Structure 1
C-alpha cells in the first residue's frame, strides 16, 4: 500500500508492505553498498546468470534466507519497492506446459526483480524500467517458495514502486506487464491483478496477446480490462479481495492528510477487529479467514505467517532521511525498528539467518530454516510461538497485550525522536546520528524481547 504526500501527515510518500511466507522462511536484512563492476561481469541468481551493470546503488532489504532478492527494500535515492504474488492465466498456461513435459525456461524471481530495480534505478520510474526490461527478457517462471516445485510454488508478480514524487503499480504476467502511475491519494494491492481499464504504460502486445489466447473478445478491444482478461479465476479471490478492500478502507479513513507512519503500522497489524467480524472467532493467531496481518492455521489455508513488515518514509530531497521501519514476523507481535540505507553497518543479529545460514539456493532445493538465538528474526518467531502458547493460540489473548504494551511504548518514543535525528544527520552531513539511532533502538528492542521471553517462561 502507498500513500502519496498529499494524503500524509508528514507530507512524504509512505509505503507499507507485509510479506506473507512459510512459517520457517526467515528474513534477515541484507545491506549493500554502492559498487562498480568490471566489464562483462555477471550476476548469479537462483535460476539464471545475467549480465551485471557497471554500477549498482546502495540498498537495504528484507531477504529470505535462501534468496538473493528482497521481499521489500529501498535504496540510497529513496526508492522503495514491495511486491506481491499474483495468479494469472499466463502462469496457469505455463503450468500446463510444464505438466505436458514442455516447461518454460526458468526466469527471474519477483524478489530478485525487486532488488535489481533498487540496485539499478535512481527513481521509481527508472526502477520500473529496469524490472519491466528484465521481465520481457527473462520471464519469471520458477518456484518462489522453499521446498516446492515450480508448478506448485511459482507465481507472477505485482509491485508498488515509490519515491518521494510518484508511485507505480506494476503488474506482470509472464513476459508482459502493465503499469499505472500514482501521484495523489492512496493505492493498495494484494494477491490479484488490480489494473482494469486505465493504465499509463504497458507491453506493446498486452491486449493482442489476450485476444489471441481467447481471454478477451476482439469486438471489445477498446474496452479492454486487464485484470478481467488475465486473472486466473480458478484461484480463489478470497486470498486477496477481502484484504485489498480492507486496506483501502483503512487508508481511506485517513486520506485527507491524516495518514501517518503509525497509522500504516496499525493497518498492517489488522485482523478486522473493528468490523462486523470482530476479528477471528477465537483469537488473531487462530485465523478463520485471511487477514492483513497473517497467521498460520492448523487447517493450512493460509500461506504461513507474515514473515516481515515494513513502512517506508520517503521525503523529498533535503527535507528528511529515507527510512524503513521494519519488524520481523507478524506485526501484531512485532516492533518496528528504524533502518537507513546510509547506516554504516547494521547490528549483526539483524542480518543473520537461522541454522541454514544466508545462501542463494533454488527454492525447490532449499531446506527449512531453524531457530538460532543469534538471529533477530528467529527471536521474534520464537516470541510469537511463546505468545500463542500452542498451535491454537491458547495464550494469545492474554500475552499479546503484554507484548504490545512494551513495544508500543518503544515505537512511540522512536517515532517521536526520528525527526530530530534526521535534522542532526542533515546538519552534520554524516550518518553517525543515524547509526546511533538504529543501534540504540536495536539495543532497547533486544532487551525488551529478552524480558518478554523470560516473563512468558515463568
Structure 2
C-alpha cells in the first residue's frame, strides 16, 4: 500500500511518495548509469523482455529482492511513483514476459526523457507483456495491478491500469494524489474492486494526501504530508487498527491482522528550477533511505552524483547492521513502544536539521553521515529514557512476530 502526490505550485512541480511494503522488506537507494547495452534482452524481476539501444541514468529506491523500483528519477528530471491497485475482471498474466508494476516504473525511467515519453513506454510494455508475478517476497500469492504518477518539471500525468487496460489523466489542478484505488472517472467505475479498496483504506488516505497536494508549496510541506498519522494532531502518533495497523493515514506502521504494511521508504522530488545566482536547475531529490518518515531525516540526492552510502550487495529481509535501512529499524521499532512520546523527544531536532538543509543542501555523503550520527543519538536517548510500553497486547504480539522473523536484536 502506498500514497503518491504531486503539487503544481506557482514555482514548479513538487512530487512525494511513501512506499508501503512488508515491514521486514529492506529498501535501498541505487544509482544506475546511462548505458548502451550490448545484450538484446533484459532480465527483469520475473521475466525477460527485449532491451533497447540506450538507457537513461537513474536513481531508484528498490526493495531488496526485485529488479524494479517503488520510486525513482532519471537524468532528464522525470520522476515516477507507483501504487498497488485492486481491480476486478482482469485476471493476472501467466505469460513469461509479464511485468511487475515496479519493473514498469524502472523501465519508464530508463527509456523516457519526459513524463509523456515515460507514460508511452509503460503503456507500450503493458499492452505487449501485461502485468504478472508475485508482488511480495513474504507473501508470494499477493498480486495487484498498478497506478502511477509520472512527473517532470513541466507537469504530471496519472496513469491507471487494470490488467492490460489503462487510462491517463493530465494533472491540471493545483494538486493530485493517488492511493490504492482507481480514481480516473469511468475507468474506476468499470474496474475498481471496492471491497479490497475498503480494507486498504485508500479513500481515507487519499482524502488526506489530496488536501495536502492542493496546499503544499515547498519541500517541507510535502514531507509533512508523508508524515501525517491522521487525527487532529497528524504529526504526533499513529492511530492503530487490529485490521490494518496504522494504514488509515499516509505514514503507515505495520501490525494489522488482515493487512500488515509499513512505510518502508519515502521520497520528495523538487522539480522547481533554482533561480538563485550560480545555481543550476538539476532536480533535487530528498529521500529517507530508511522506513518510517516520522523517525527519519530527509537527505538530498542527485541523479548525476552517485554516492557510496550502502554496500554494493543487496540486503535481505533479516537484520544486518551493515545496511542503513536495518540500523534505522532499531530506532523506529523502539519508538513504536510509545510512539507519541518518542517522537516528541527528537522531532524538533529532525525538523531543525531539515530546515537548514532545505535552505542550503549539503552533499549526499555529508547528509547521510550526519543523519547516521543524529539517529544514533536519538536511539541512545530513547534507550536511556526507557519509555513504558503503551501498545495494546495484540499489537505487541504482532510486532514480536515481525521482529522475530527479522532476527532483530533485543
Query: Secondary structure at 1:67's aligned position in 2?
Result: coil
Normalised TM-score (structure 2): 0.85
Deviation of the 1:289 alpha carbon:
5.3
Whole-angstrom distance in 2 between the partners of 1:169 and 1:56:
23
Deviation of the 1:238 alpha carbon:
4.6
Whole-angstrom distance in 2 between the partners of 1:265 and 1:306:
13
Query: Secondary structure at 1:251's aligned position in 2?
Result: helix
Are 1:401 and 2:363 an aligned pair?
Answer: no
What residue number does 1:122 align with?
Answer: 113
What residue number does 2:298 align with?
Answer: 336
Give yes or no for contact 1:29–1:351 (8 Å, CA) kept in 2: no
Deviation of the 1:450 alpha carbon:
1.7
1:312 to 263, 269, 286: 269
What is the number of equivalent residue pairs in this alignment?
372
What residue number does 1:229 align with?
Answer: 190
Q: For 1:89-238, list aligned pairs within 5 A.
A: 89-91=88-90, 93-94=91-92, 103=94, 107-149=98-140, 152-196=141-185, 225-238=186-199
Q: Which runs of 5 or more structure 2 residues have no equivalent in the other structure?
A: 385-410
Normalised TM-score (structure 1): 0.76
Are 1:291 and 2:234 an aligned pair?
Answer: no
Whole-angstrom distance in 1 between the partners of 2:311 and 2:19:
17
When you count helix as a share of all residues, which structure comes out higher? Answer: 1
Whole-angstrom distance in 2 between the partners of 1:307 and 1:137:
31
What residue number does 2:205 align with?
Answer: 243
What residue number does 1:267 align with?
Answer: 225
Query: Secondary structure at 2:379's aligned position in 1?
Result: helix
| Runs of 4+ deviating beyond 4 Å | 103-106, 278-283, 286-289, 316-319, 350-353
Query: Secondary structure at 1:341's aligned position in 2?
Result: coil
What residue number does 1:373 align with?
Answer: 321
Q: For 1:375-390, list aligned pairs within 5 A.
A: 375-388=323-336
Whole-angstrom distance in 1 between the partners of 2:85 and 2:311:
29
Give yes or no for contact 1:20–1:294 (8 Å, CA) kept in 2: yes
Q: For 1:342-361, list aligned pairs within 5 A.
A: 342-343=304-305, 345-349=306-310, 353-354=314-315, 356=316
> Taking structure 1 as reference, are residues 282 and 41 closer, same or farther at Cα in structure 2, changes over 3 Å only?
closer
> Taking structure 1 as reference, are residues 173 and 53 closer, same or farther at Cα in structure 2, changes over 3 Å only?
same
Give yes or no for contact 1:86–1:192 (8 Å, CA) kept in 2: yes
> Taking structure 1 as reference, are residues 3 and 319 closer, same or farther at Cα in structure 2, changes over 3 Å only?
farther
What residue number does 1:422 align with?
Answer: none
Q: For 1:24-63, list aligned pairs within 5 A.
A: 24-38=24-38, 41-63=40-62
> Taking structure 1 as reference, are residues 79 and 456 closer, same or farther at Cα in structure 2, changes over 3 Å only?
same
Query: Secondary structure at 2:360's aligned position in 1?
Result: helix
User: Considering only CA atoms, is the larger Rg found in Structure 1 or Structure 2?
Assistant: 1
What residue number does 1:426 align with?
Answer: none
What residue number does 1:454 align with?
Answer: 380
Deviation of the 1:185 alpha carbon:
1.4
Whole-angstrom distance in 2 between the partners of 1:143 and 1:303:
17
Query: Secondary structure at 1:82's aligned position in 2?
Result: strand
What residue number does 1:429 align with?
Answer: none
CA RMSD, 1 decimal? 2.4
